[in-house]
A and B are shown apart, each in its own frame.
Chain A
Amino acid sequence: MGPNLLANYYETAAMLIFGIGFTALFLSRNMIKKVIGFNLMDTGMFLFLAAKGYVEGRSAPILTDGVRSATAYINPVPAGLVLTGIVVSVSVTAFLLALTVRLYLKYRTLNLDEMLQRSRRNEAES
């Protein structure tokens, strides 16, 4: 183990959230919970990126009068990446939820296992 696990508490929390989302994506069989897990992974990743760009004691990259030196502001690159990422993540969420509604219309269940069994039964019947 390296020395910085507790010093990097933002990154640690981000990775824990990412892991929780990943586990939910793998282990829960409910489609809605899988989408939630996906969202948790998203936010964990965003938190990690934003934490990488933060510099102690500096302010947001909105230039105030006269101060133009790079030592006064935090890193704007992760903020730009995450800003677009958040909006894209909501559209991915909407797409996944639409797929869930469609699947529910066909199989009348949110449980992935039951969906698979019903689809196999349909296959066997036809």
Chain B
Amino acid sequence: MASYRLFRRFANWVEGEEVYPIPEIEKNGSSVREHPITEDMARVRSSDEGVGTLLRRWMDSPQGVAAFRRVYTVTAALLCAAIVTLLLVTVSYLPRFGAPDNPANNEVPRRYIEQGLSETGAINVVAGMILDYRAFDTLGESNVLFAATVAVLILLRDDGEGKKKKRAIPELKQEPERERPDPILRASAAVVGPFALLYGVYVILNGHLSAGGGFSGGAILGAALMLLSAAFGQEKLERVFTARRCKALTFLALMCYALLKSWSFYTGANHLPSGIPLGTPGSILSGGLILPLNICVGLVVGCTMYSFYACFRSGGMRDGT
């Protein structure tokens, strides 16, 4: 009972009193008839005749829409069923799961595991792989994150030229009920938040020694920042994390990554001597470039996650000029 009440409260927070109605269009076509656009369209189009326009007119009529809907549903269901069957048949011909002589376990992973420690200095072979052997690929991935941040910032910006947008978005800022954070949330965030931040830093710094690394640690950092922002209000975090600073930090981290890696490319890559000591395996300052690259990736991912959150919450992210 208590859990149901909790769920209702959460539901109210998300969507107001009533259950969100999923609009049903194919049920009886009533929502189609509500908007008399189809007749309008028919009238507009009736001036020029032809097989194409006739077909189009029929497609725009309620019967046409319903028929199209039915054909689309059946075709799509058949297509999905066919694809799933095809995939399952393929799976049934694949080599047995977990067998050591699978074709995937060829000389590439063997080389990574047997030579990885001496060539990259990383105990965690996965970190050594993605940040040394395939560091260029990881740079691309980090750039994808940066591009996604910028795209979301552009899409959810609080500007707008159209009259409609101008009316709709700026009022989101002065949302009437600035609800006070829950005391339970605030108390538990005060306990959990610092540890979550610390854990994120730990996972980033230990990426070459144990499971984790820039991607996981950055996500943990971002999640911890989200928690703190939700508990103590976005104003407090916005003193530090404005959109401009987030973008600048991401850019700096990417730049740092590119410069560090281009040094190793400049000295010949391919594990030729580059003047960067690999250190003793197992100590925190080892693994050559992997630790700084992990920090860069962690910063990029953390900033990305937090700025997603900041863009999506009502009010958007302040530019901080």
Per-residue interface assignment for chain A, residues 101 to 126, with 1 indicating a CB less than 8 Å from any chain B CB and 0 otherwise: 11001100111011001101100100
Choose among A15, A51, A78, A114 the residue that contacts B25 (Cβ–Cβ < 8 A). A114
The complex places the Cα of A102 from the Cα of B165 at a distance, in Å, of 10
When distances are taken between beta carbons in the complex, the residues of chain B under 8 Å from A63 are 113, 116-117, 123-125
CB atoms of B97 and A84 under 8 A apart = no
Judge whether B148 and A70 touch: CB under 8 Å.
Answer: no
- CA A48 to CA B273, docked complex, whole Å: 38
Identify which of B97, B112, B137 contacts A7 (C-beta below 8 A). B97
Contacts of A27 in B (CB 8 A): 73, 76-77, 80
B137 to chain A, nearest CB (A): 8
- A120 to B123, alpha carbons, bound, how many Å? 59
A4, A58, A92: the one contacting B95 at CB < 8 Å is: A4
A109 and B25 alpha carbons, distance in the complex (Å): 12
Per-residue 0/1 for A66-92: is the Cβ within 8 Å of any B Cβ (1 yes, 0 no)?
001111010111111001101110111
Known contacts A26-B79, A30-B22, A69-B114; decide if A2 and B89 are in contact (CB<8 Å).
yes
Please give the distance in Å from A50's CB to the nearest CB on chain B: 11
For chains A and B in complex, what number of residue pairs have CB atoms within 8 angstroms? Answer: 212
Distance of A113 Cα from B151 Cα, bound (Å): 25
> In the complex, which of the residues A18, A56, A98, A99 contacts B87, with contact meaning CB atoms closer than 8 Å?
A18
Q: Is the CB of B113 within 8 A of A61?
A: yes
> What are the residues of chain A within 8 A of B125 when measuring CB–CB?
61-63, 73, 76
Smallest distance from the beta carbon of B56 to chain A beta carbons, Å?
11
Residue B100 contacts which of A1, A55, A62, A69 (CB distance < 8 angstroms)? A55
Does B290 make an interface contact (CB < 8 A)?
A: no
Binds A, one of B37-45, B240-248, B251-259: B37-45
Contact of B40 among A60, A62, A68, A121 (CB under 8 A): A121
B84 at interface (Cβ–Cβ under 8 A)? yes
In A1-51, the 8 Å CB interface with B consists of 1-5, 7-12, 15-16, 18-19, 22-23, 26-27, 29-30, 51
Asked whether, in the complex, the Cβ of B23 is within 8 Å of the Cβ of A62, the reply is: no
Q: Measured between alpha carbons, how far is A110 from B76 in the docked complex, in Å?
A: 20
Given known contacts A120-B37, A120-B41, A121-B35, A15 and B114 CB-to-CB distance under 8 angstroms:
no
- Chain A, interface size category, equals 35 or more
Contacts of A121 in B (CB 8 A): 35, 37, 40-41
User: What B residues does A5 contact at CB under 8 A?
Assistant: 88, 91-92
- Residues of chain A within 8 A of B184, CB atoms compared: none
Which residues of chain B are near A111, meaning CB under 8 Å? 22-23, 25
B91 touches A12 (CB 8 A): yes
B25 touches A1 (CB 8 A): no
B113 touches A76 (CB 8 A): yes
Contacts A15-B87, A95-B148 known; 17 new A-B pairs at CB < 8 A: A4-B97, A8-B97, A22-B80, A22-B84, A27-B76, A30-B22, A57-B98, A68-B113, A70-B109, A75-B109, A76-B112, A87-B218, A88-B144, A90-B305, A90-B308, A105-B164, A124-B40
22 contacts between A and B (CB under 8 A): A22-B80, A23-B76, A26-B77, A26-B79, A61-B126, A68-B117, A73-B125, A78-B104, A80-B129, A80-B130, A83-B213, A83-B216, A84-B137, A87-B218, A91-B145, A91-B149, A101-B312, A102-B156, A105-B164, A105-B168, A111-B22, A111-B23
